[in-house]
Amino acid sequence: MKTTVVEVAGVSKSFKIHYERHQSLKERLLHPRTGHSEDFSALKDISFTMEEGETVGIIGHNGSGKSTLLKCICGVLQPTSGEIRLRGSLAALLELGAGFQLELSGRDNVYLYGTMLGFSKKRVDQIFDDIVAFSEIEHFIDTPVKFYSSGMYVRLAFAVAVNVNPDILVVDEVLAVGDERFQAKCIDRIRFFQEEGRAILLVTHSADQIRALASRAIVLESGLMIANGNVADSLRIFREHLLGDTPSNEINEHQSGDVHIDSLTTPTGSFDVQSGASMHFDVHVTSATAYSGNFVMEIFTRGGVLVSRSDPQSSPINLRPGHNTIGIDLPNIPLLDGVFDINVGVVDPRGSNVKAWGEKVATMQVTYGGREGGLVELDASIRQL
Amino acid sequence: MDNATSSEAVHEGLAHAPVRVMSARVKLGTRLVNLYSRRELWRNLVISDIRIKYKGSALGLLWSMLNPAFTLGIYYLVFSVVLKNGYPNYVIFLFSGLIVWNMFQNSVFSATGVIVDRAGLVKKVSFPREILPLANVGSAMIYFFIQLVVLVIFLFVFHHAPEWNMLAILPITFLSLCLFAAAVSMVMSAFTVYMRDMKHLMEVLLQLWFWLSPVVYSYSNSLATQLATYHLKFLYFMNPMALVVLTFQRAFYVNTEVHQTTGTHPLIHMLPVWAPSSFLLLNLAMLAVMATLFLIALVIFGRLEGNFESEL
């Protein structure tokens, strides 16, 4: 039986917003009444559980409460009401290097940060070499961290957090740091954690990252949890409700206006295609009013890797009231064999808001007879010169 | 890395791992258990605190001796040489009270701003926040022991014998002192988050407090004598530092009455003439009060820490 490692039970958090901050004695004496504050609910009655081996993504846009939720789970903030129960050790990558003391050497900081994350000195002793190797700053480990470049600083902090092998790893948009190679290394490490069956809680506003890493996704909007389920469903809800024209608290109605994607069909009714062949899709869209926008299509592998996203700016559409059909031609499909999910959507002319979205409206299967490996056939010609 | 085995072990243990609960109110017992379980962090914070303080200074930790030595020299010059107070072995008298006071002042003064100064950490990393002020108490303890060594050296130099059965009481007194310093440090560090003036206020308050405690002058010259005439002597001992200082002076300086070398009255009572057994009882009572105070301070800190994140 899987052990529940995180249990969030009815957690709410409200903050006082100060309009005028009176933090000195004089100001408090002079303005005993002013400097009024207002309660702001950042989280409203959030409940969910997480089992070992799960990777849960939390997605929502700025101010949706995802960082607050994360801070509550990590224990940086106390919830106003409700409880969070954790089993096992937890390491959080909230802001890398927050615990570092500039005057101390990298070595001292590794120990200080390690114990701050709740691990014993003995544990840090055991993994010290791994940490240094992972961070790639062997030569500077005894240099005070104030002389580190910001990249080195972050690498060292990340290395500590992931090498202490926590039971629960909490990651908050830190994958955006470091150069591309180091990022790849971090993603590798997260995948390795997943294989080991550790629990990972990932917060991001990148749908791509959730798709690539998470097994389940939670969507937050204005402090409310509006979805908690498989990644595809949650992302659809995220797209429809959060990126819609008017961000709204109503959860189920409000189909972000008047455009709806009904279905995606092929003339033959089959979604099987030979690699290198061409394909035609018809997307059926119902619109209540005339609407001019742009059309976008995404193709994903089953593993959640984005293969291609069309450029919405080059595909303007003018929807008439009623039923519309949009045709998509895919000439000489270069994909190798596999099953691919197709998302289509209508976005506004600026490309910033999604008017309608169809997550996984169709699945296409590509068969390939050649000998190339990977995702696409490049048909490279290789010869000795 | 021995991934296979270590991860197996992790998973076996996970089902039985203790559950940590995070809610609006953390119970006092849980707070104490959390504190104890993070003692390694406390130790690391103490060490790094001391390292940072003396980083880059040529004399390093020696300053923790030199600094009080200069203070001592100044007080000696002013009170013994210029004002001619006539206390024999004034250096021993002064130093036995001063090390105690330094311990208290060092902890409280450095702890007052510690939560505000480490805002980045407090807002981002989870650990029992009271460890920060407690670490300041920890480093003050280290400086105390260093200065204690100097005091012992002085005792040898001046051929001054301490009162041995009083020395046995000192661990109790020292524990009370630590608990008291910890209580004040915790409350002050939390208050400062809400009112940044505390740091400046504390500077003044600590000075007043210092001159109210019988460190540079003797108990017989203190307010206690005046208060005694109104039967209000107990008020004087509402200041825990008074008893702490007196116990230390009694143990190291010993002399309760001295023949003054100058002045009009040839004989004065420098220290209370209580028997060591009374000192023991008083100190035990103080320990109980200080332990209670420490727990109350923990509760207050717990109440205040809920809004740290939004106030910092």
CB B262 within 8 A of CB B86: yes
- Name the helix (H) or strand (E) containing A57: strand A55-59
A28 and chain B: CB distance < 8 Å anywhere?
A: yes
Residue B247: predicted pLDDT: 93
Domain assignment present for A377: no
Question: Same domain for A164 and A75?
Answer: yes
Which residues in A lie closer than 8 A to residue B123 (C-beta atoms)? Answer: 76, 98
Residue B171: predicted pLDDT: 95
Which residues in A lie closer than 8 A to residue B194 (C-beta atoms)? Answer: 23
Which residues in A lie closer than 8 A to residue B127 (C-beta atoms)? Answer: 116, 118
CB A218 within 8 A of CB A54: no
Hey, how many other C-beta atoms are within 10 angstroms of the C-beta on B291? Answer: 15
Question: Given pLDDT bands bounded at 50, 70 and 90, which one contains residue A91?
Answer: confident
Portion of chain A with pLDDT greater than 70, in percent: 86
Closest CA to A283 of A208, A201, A356: A356
Question: Same domain for A165 and A60?
Answer: yes
Candidates A79, A111, A197; nearest CB to B23: A79
Residue A168: predicted pLDDT: 87
> Would the CB atoms of B127 and A116 count as touching at under 8 Å?
yes
Residue B267: predicted pLDDT: 62
Residue-range definition of the domain harbouring residue A285: 257-367
Which residues in A lie closer than 8 A to residue B36 (C-beta atoms)? Answer: none
> Would the CB atoms of A103 and B6 count as touching at under 8 Å?
no
Question: Given pLDDT bands bounded at 50, 70 and 90, which one contains residue B300?
Answer: very high
Question: Same domain for A210 and A110?
Answer: yes
Pairing status of strand A272-274 against strand A279-287: unpaired
A302 and chain B: CB distance < 8 Å anywhere?
A: no
Which residues in A lie closer than 8 A to residue B120 (C-beta atoms)? Answer: 95, 98
Q: Which residues contact B66 (CB under 8 A, 6 or more apart)?
A: B59
Residue labelled with tokens 């002079």: A30
Residue A351: predicted pLDDT: 66
B15 and chain A: CB distance < 8 Å anywhere?
A: yes
> Would the CB atoms of B44 and A111 count as touching at under 8 Å?
yes
Question: Same domain for A121 and A218?
Answer: yes
A122 and chain B: CB distance < 8 Å anywhere?
A: no
Pairing status of strand A291-301 against strand A306-309: antiparallel
Candidates B38, B120, B195; nearest CB to A24: B195
Choose from A199-208, B256-265, B287-296 the range with maximum mean pLDDT.
Answer: B287-296
Mean pLDDT of the residues in chain B: 85
pLDDT at A223 over 80: yes
Which residue is closest to A28 within chain B, CA to CA? Answer: B195
Residue B11: predicted pLDDT: 53
Question: Same domain for A127 and A177?
Answer: yes
**Ranges A260-264, B200-204, B257-261, B305-309: which has the least confidence:** B257-261
**Ranges A91-105, A143-157, B2-16, B188-202: which has the least confidence:** B2-16
Choose from A263-277, B255-269, B278-292 the range with maximum mean pLDDT.
Answer: B278-292
Which residue is closest to B7 within chain A, CA to CA? Answer: A196
B99 or A93: which leads in pLDDT:
B99
CA distance B52 to chain A (A): 6
Domain assignment present for A353: yes
- CATH code for the domain in which residue A307 is found: 2.70.50.60
Candidates B10, B23, B41; nearest CB to A115: B41
Question: Given pLDDT bands bounded at 50, 70 and 90, which one contains residue B243?
Answer: very high
- The per-residue pLDDT for range B267-296, each reduced to its tens digit, is 666 788 788 888 999 999 999 999 999 999
Question: Same domain for A199 and A302?
Answer: no
Rounded Cα distance, B142 and B148, in Å: 10
Question: Given pLDDT bands bounded at 50, 70 and 90, which one contains residue A246?
Answer: very low
A118 and chain B: CB distance < 8 Å anywhere?
A: yes
Residues 46-65, chain A, touching B (beta carbon < 8 A)? 52
Candidates A74, A87, A101; nearest CB to B14: A87
B22 or B117: which leads in pLDDT:
B117
A260 or B60: which leads in pLDDT:
A260
Domain assignment present for A374: no
> Would the CB atoms of A23 and B126 count as touching at under 8 Å?
no
C-alpha distances in angstroms, B177 versus A293, B64, B102, B189, B199? 73, 19, 11, 18, 21
Which residues in A lie closer than 8 A to residue B24 (C-beta atoms)? Answer: 78-81
Question: Same domain for A17 and A89?
Answer: yes
pTM assigned to the model: 0.75
Domain assignment present for A281: yes
Residue A100: predicted pLDDT: 82
> Would the CB atoms of B24 and A76 count as touching at under 8 Å?
no
Hey, how many other C-beta atoms are within 10 angstroms of the C-beta on A110? Answer: 25
Domain assignment present for A248: no
B123 and chain A: CB distance < 8 Å anywhere?
A: yes
Question: Same domain for A291 and A354?
Answer: yes
Residues 80-99, chain A, touching B (beta carbon < 8 A)? 80-90, 92, 94-95, 98-99
Rounded Cα distance, B253 and B151, in Å: 11
pLDDT at A350 over 80: no
With 0-12 / 13-18 / 19 or more C-beta atoms within 10 angstroms meaning exposed / middle / buried, residue B122 is buried
Per-residue pLDDT, averaged over A358-375, amounts to 82
CB A44 within 8 A of CB A205: no
> Would the CB atoms of B124 and A78 count as touching at under 8 Å?
no
Which residues in A lie closer than 8 A to residue B1 (C-beta atoms)? Answer: 130
Which residue is closest to A99 within chain B, CA to CA? Answer: B121
A79 and chain B: CB distance < 8 Å anywhere?
A: yes
Portion of chain B with pLDDT greater than 90, in percent: 39
Which residue is closest to B22 within chain A, CA to CA? Answer: A84
B226 and chain A: CB distance < 8 Å anywhere?
A: no
pLDDT at A235 over 50: yes
Which residue is closest to A115 within chain B, CA to CA? Answer: B41
One-letter amino acid for residue B218 of the chain: S
Question: Same domain for A8 and A152?
Answer: yes
Which residues in B lie closer than 8 A to residue A118 (C-beta atoms)? Answer: 38, 41, 127
Question: Given pLDDT bands bounded at 50, 70 and 90, which one contains residue B116?
Answer: very high
B48 and chain A: CB distance < 8 Å anywhere?
A: yes
> Would the CB atoms of B44 and A115 count as touching at under 8 Å?
yes
- CATH code for the domain in which residue A59 is found: 3.40.50.300
The four Cα atoms B259, B265, B270, B274 give a dihedral, to 10 degrees, of: 90
Question: Given pLDDT bands bounded at 50, 70 and 90, which one contains residue B165?
Answer: confident
Which residue is closest to B310 within chain A, CA to CA? Answer: A15
- The per-residue pLDDT for range A28-80, each reduced to its tens digit, is 666 665 556 677 888 889 999 998 888 999 988 777 888 888 888 888 888 88
Question: Same domain for A263 and A221?
Answer: no
> Would the CB atoms of A87 and B124 count as touching at under 8 Å?
no
Question: Same domain for A157 and A271?
Answer: no
Domain assignment present for A12: yes
pLDDT at B103 over 90: yes
C-alpha distances in angstroms, B11 versus A53, A197, A308? 10, 8, 39
Question: Same domain for A276 and A214?
Answer: no
Question: Given pLDDT bands bounded at 50, 70 and 90, which one contains residue B266?
Answer: low
Domain assignment present for A123: yes
pLDDT at B298 over 80: yes
pLDDT at B84 over 90: no
Question: Given pLDDT bands bounded at 50, 70 and 90, which one contains residue A138?
Answer: confident
A309 and chain B: CB distance < 8 Å anywhere?
A: no
The interface predicted TM-score (ipTM) is 0.76
> Would the CB atoms of B3 and A74 count as touching at under 8 Å?
no
Centroid of chain to Cα B156: 26
A10 and chain B: CB distance < 8 Å anywhere?
A: no
DSSP state of B36: H
Domain assignment present for A279: yes
Residue labelled with tokens 């480990």: A141
Residue B109: predicted pLDDT: 93
> Would the CB atoms of A167 and B124 count as touching at under 8 Å?
no
Question: Given pLDDT bands bounded at 50, 70 and 90, which one contains residue A249?
Answer: very low
CA distance B178 to chain A (A): 23
- The per-residue pLDDT for range A170-201, each reduced to its tens digit, is 887 756 666 677 777 777 888 888 888 888 99
Question: Given pLDDT bands bounded at 50, 70 and 90, which one contains residue A251?
Answer: very low
Number of domains comprising chain A: 2
Residue A37: predicted pLDDT: 67
Residue A255: predicted pLDDT: 44
Per-residue pLDDT, averaged over B216-220, amounts to 83
